[in-house]
Amino acid sequence: MTIKIEKKITGFKVISAEEKAKQQAQAVEEAKNALERVHEDMERPEFLMGSTYKIKTPMSEHALYITINDIVLNLGTEHEQRHPYEIFINSKNMDHFQWVVALTRVISAVFRKGGDITFMVEELKAVFDPKGGYFKKGGKFMPSLVAEIGEAIETHMKMIGLLESEGLDEHQQKLIAEKRAQYDAAKNGGKSANDAKSGDFPPDAQLCGKCNVKAAILMDGCYTCLNCGDSKCG
Ligand SMILES: [Zn+2]
C-alpha cells in the first residue's frame, strides 16, 4: 500500500522491536478478551448439546444415566469450544436420590461459574466409599459411585477437548511391550497367554496404584503396569 504524504512532515519515530512486541501482545490480549466465555449472568440458551453416559455398577441392578449438556462458545470461529453447562443424573434406583440431586446441582453451578472447571474431575475421583469400592469390567477399580460420576465427567471433558487425553508416549509403549514379552516368556514359554484377546491383562496382575487397573505385573522384583506404563523399576 502506498501512502501519499500531502502535509509537511513535522516529526517521526522509529518503533523499536520491544514496542512492537508489546503492541502485538496487547492485540493478542484484546482478542482474547473479546472471546465469549461462561459467566454467572449468562442466560441459558434455548439449545444445548448433550451427551449421555451409561454407568452400570455392581451395587445396583439399575444403570445410572449421566447427561452433560454443553454450551457452544464462539460458534463458527476458530475458537469454537464446548463448555459444560449442566448435568443430570437419572436412574430407576432411588437409593441415593437426594445426594445425587444435590451433587448434580452443585456441579452444574460450578459449570456455570465459568473459568477452569476441570479440577472437579480429580476431586470427585478421589472420593472413597467407606464400604469399599468395586471392580468394573476390564479390571478397573472404582472407589465409589461419586468417583464414577467424576470419571464420566472426565470422559466428557476429554471428548470436547477441555482435558487432554493422556496417550502413552513411545517410551512407555516400548516398556509395556518389553515387560509383556518378558512376562509371557517366563509364564508361557514365549507364547502370549491370551493371543485371542490381547487386550486382557494377566490374571495374576496386581492393582496399579496410578490408574486403578489390575494390570501391574511383577518382573525382576518390581512392578510395571501394562495399562498406564507406571513402573517402579530402575
Ligand atoms: Zn497403571
Q: What is the pLDDT of residues 75-85, one digit of tens each?
A: 888 888 999 99
Q: Measured in angstroms, how far is the CA atom of residue 139 from the centroid of ligand 1? A: 11
Q: Measured in angstroms, how far is the CA atom of residue 228 from the centroid of ligand 1? A: 4
Residue 1 has pLDDT above 80, yes or no: no
Rg (CA), the chain: 26
Of 4, 5, 82, the closest CA to residue 47 belongs to 82
Of all residues in the chain, what percent carry a pLDDT higher than 90?
38
In sequence order, which residues have a C-beta less than 8 Å from that of residue 138 and are 6 or more positions away?
Answer: 213
Is the CB of residue 47 less than 8 Å from the CB of residue 41? no
Least confident of 25-34, 171-180, 211-220: 25-34
pLDDT given at position 58: 87
Read off the C-alpha cell for 11: 516529526
Q: Measured in angstroms, how far is the CA atom of residue 197 from the centroid of ligand 1? A: 19
- What mean pLDDT is predicted for residues 200-214? 86
Model confidence at 137, pLDDT cuts 50, 70, 90, reads confident
pLDDT given at position 108: 97
Nearest-angstrom CA–CA distance, 153 and 120: 9
Q: Measured in angstroms, how far is the CA atom of residue 87 from the centroid of ligand 1? A: 29
Model confidence at 105, pLDDT cuts 50, 70, 90, reads very high
Residue 176 has pLDDT above 70, yes or no: yes
Q: Measured in angstroms, how far is the CA atom of residue 86 from the centroid of ligand 1? A: 31
Residue 195 has pLDDT above 60, yes or no: no
pLDDT given at position 119: 95
41-56 in b/e form (b: 16+ CB < 10 A) is eeeeeeeeeebebebe
Q: Measured in angstroms, how far is the CA atom of residue 218 from the centroid of ligand 1? A: 13
Q: Measured in angstroms, how far is the CA atom of residue 145 from the centroid of ligand 1? A: 21
Nearest-angstrom CA–CA distance, 125 and 6: 69
pLDDT given at position 111: 95
Which residues sit with Cβ closer than 5 angstroms to ligand 1, an ion? 208, 210-211, 225, 227-228, 230
| Angle 211-149-116 from CA coordinates, rounded to 5° | 85
Model confidence at 234, pLDDT cuts 50, 70, 90, reads low
Supply the angle between the helices 97-113 and 145-159 in degrees, to the nearest 10: 30
pLDDT given at position 42: 86
In sequence order, which residues have a C-beta less than 8 Å from that of residue 20 and are 6 or more positions away?
Answer: none
